[in-house]
Structure 1
Amino acid sequence: MTTTAPHLLGNFAPVPDELTVTELSVTGSVPPELTGWYLRNGPNPREAASAHWFLGDGMVHGVRLEGGRAAAYRNRWVRTASFTRGARPYDEHGNHDLTAGVANTHVVRHAGRTLALVESSHPYELDCRPGHELDTIGAYDFNGRLHTPMTAHPKTCPTTGELHFFGYGGLTAPYLTYHRADAAGELTVSRPIDIPAHTMMHDFQLTSAHVVFMDLPVVFDLAKARAGAPGMPYTWTPDHGARLGVLRRDDPHGAVRWFEIQPCYVFHTLGAHEEAAGQRLVLHVIRWDRLGDGVDVNGHGSLWRWTIDLAAGSVREEQLDDRSTEFPRIDDRLTGLPHRHGHTSTAKGPDGGAIHRYDLRAGTVTSHLFGSGRTPGEASFVPADDTPGGPGWLMAYVHDAATDRSDLVILDADRLADPPVASVHLPRRVPSGFHGNWLPDA
Structure 2
Amino acid sequence: MTSKPYLTGHYTPVADEITATDLRVEGSLPPELSGRLIRNSHNPKPGITPTHWFKGSGMVHGIRLREGRAEWYRNRWVHTPALEGAPYLTEQGPDLTASTAGTHVIEHGGRLLALCEANLPFELTADLDTVGAYDFGGRLTSAMTAHPKEDPVTGELHFFASSPFPPHLIHHVASPDGQVLRSREVPGASAALKHDFAITEHHVVFLEGSVTFDHAEQSGIPYRWSDAQASRIGVMPRGEGGAEQVRWFEIGQGYAMHLANAYEDARGRIVVEGPSVGRAGWQRSWNWWVGAPDRGAEPNSGSRSRRWTVDLTAGTVREEQTDDLTVEFPTINDDFIGREHRYQYALSFPDDLGIGNHTLVKYDRSTGTRQLLPFGTGQLPSEALFVPAAQGAGEDAGYLLTVVSDLNADASRMLVLDASDLTLPPVATVHLPRRVPAMIHGSWIPDADLARPDADLR
After TM superposition, the score normalised by the length of structure 1 is 0.93
User: Alignment partner of 1:230: what SS?
Assistant: coil
AA matched with 1:356: V
CA contact (8 A) 1:234 1:293 kept: no
CA change 1:402–1:294 in 2 (3 A) is closer
Structure 1 residue corresponding to 2:256, chosen from 261, 266, 270: 266
**1:323 maps to what in 2?**
325
**2:149 maps to what in 1?**
155
Of 69-78 and 380-389, more deviation after overlay is shown by 380-389
CA change 1:196–1:253 in 2 (3 A) is closer
Is 1:207 matched with 2:203?
A: no
CA change 1:231–1:363 in 2 (3 A) is farther
CA contact (8 A) 2:186 2:243 kept: no
How many Å separate the matches in 2 of 1:143 and 1:300?
42
AA matched with 1:107: V
AA matched with 1:8: L
CA contact (8 A) 2:208 2:255 kept: no
How many Å separate the matches in 1 of 2:284 and 2:222?
8
AA matched with 2:29: V
CA contact (8 A) 1:346 1:376 kept: no
1:15-60 deviation line (CA, Å, top 9, x unaligned): 0000100011122221122111100000001144211111110000
AA matched with 1:148: S
How many Å separate the matches in 2 of 1:322 and 1:293?
18
What are the equivalent positions in structure 2 for 1:330-409 lying under 5 Å apart? Answer: 330-348=332-350, 352-385=357-390, 387=393, 389-409=395-415
How many Å separate the matches in 2 of 1:90 and 1:231?
11
**1:305 maps to what in 2?**
307
CA contact (8 A) 2:404 2:412 kept: yes
CA change 1:398–1:104 in 2 (3 A) is same
Question: 1:196: Cα distance to partner?
Answer: 5.7
Of 102-111 and 248-257, more deviation after overlay is shown by 248-257
User: Alignment partner of 2:424: what SS?
Assistant: coil
Of 184-193 and 24-33, more deviation after overlay is shown by 24-33
Question: 1:407: Cα distance to partner?
Answer: 0.6
**1:11 maps to what in 2?**
10
Structure 2 residue corresponding to 1:165, chosen from 154, 159, 162: 159
Structure 1 residue corresponding to 2:283, chosen from 286, 292, 305: 292
CA change 1:174–1:123 in 2 (3 A) is same
**1:233 maps to what in 2?**
222
AA matched with 1:236: W
Question: 1:294: Cα distance to partner?
Answer: 9.2
CA contact (8 A) 2:55 2:220 kept: no
1:349-379 deviation line (CA, Å, top 9, x unaligned): 7763211110011111011122222111100
User: Alignment partner of 1:114: what SS?
Assistant: strand
How many Å separate the matches in 2 of 1:151 and 1:369?
32
Unpaired runs of 5+ residues, structure 2, are 289-296, 449-458
User: Alignment partner of 2:260: what SS?
Assistant: strand
Corresponding residue pairs, total: 429
CA contact (8 A) 1:230 1:294 kept: no
Is 1:184 matched with 2:177?
A: yes
AA matched with 1:56: G
1:77-110 deviation line (CA, Å, top 9, x unaligned): 00112114x22221135x1211111110111111
CA change 1:351–1:296 in 2 (3 A) is closer
CA contact (8 A) 1:331 1:388 kept: no
CA contact (8 A) 1:246 1:258 kept: yes
What are the equivalent positions in structure 2 for 1:417-428 lying under 5 Å apart? Answer: 417-428=423-434
CA contact (8 A) 1:351 1:371 kept: no
What are the equivalent positions in structure 2 for 1:52-131 lying under 5 Å apart? Answer: 52-84=52-84, 86-93=85-92, 95-128=93-126
How many Å separate the matches in 1 of 2:39 and 2:394?
23
Question: 1:295: Cα distance to partner?
Answer: 3.4
**2:243 maps to what in 1?**
253
CA contact (8 A) 2:151 2:157 kept: yes
CA contact (8 A) 1:408 1:425 kept: yes
AA matched with 2:257: F
AA matched with 2:373: H
AA matched with 1:309: D
Question: 1:263: Cα distance to partner?
Answer: 0.7
AA matched with 1:295: W
How many Å separate the matches in 2 of 1:316 and 1:351?
32
CA change 1:393–1:88 in 2 (3 A) is same
How many Å separate the matches in 2 of 1:322 and 1:33?
36
Q: What CA RMSD, in Å, does the superposition of the two structures yield over aligned residues?
A: 1.8
CA change 1:391–1:253 in 2 (3 A) is same
Question: 1:277: Cα distance to partner?
Answer: 4.8
Is 1:440 matched with 2:446?
A: yes
How many Å separate the matches in 2 of 1:387 and 1:58?
37
CA contact (8 A) 1:30 1:68 kept: yes
User: Alignment partner of 2:153: what SS?
Assistant: coil
**Percent identical residues:** 46
AA matched with 1:135: D
CA contact (8 A) 1:119 1:151 kept: yes
Shift >6 Å, 4+ stretches: none
1:217-266 deviation line (CA, Å, top 9, x unaligned): 21111233xxxx23632110021110000000033332210101001001
CA contact (8 A) 1:333 1:388 kept: no
User: Alignment partner of 1:151: what SS?
Assistant: coil
How many Å separate the matches in 2 of 1:167 and 1:315?
25
AA matched with 1:11: H
After TM superposition, the score normalised by the length of structure 2 is 0.90
How many Å separate the matches in 1 of 2:20 and 2:428?
18
How many Å separate the matches in 1 of 2:73 and 2:142?
34
Of 210-219 and 347-356, more deviation after overlay is shown by 347-356
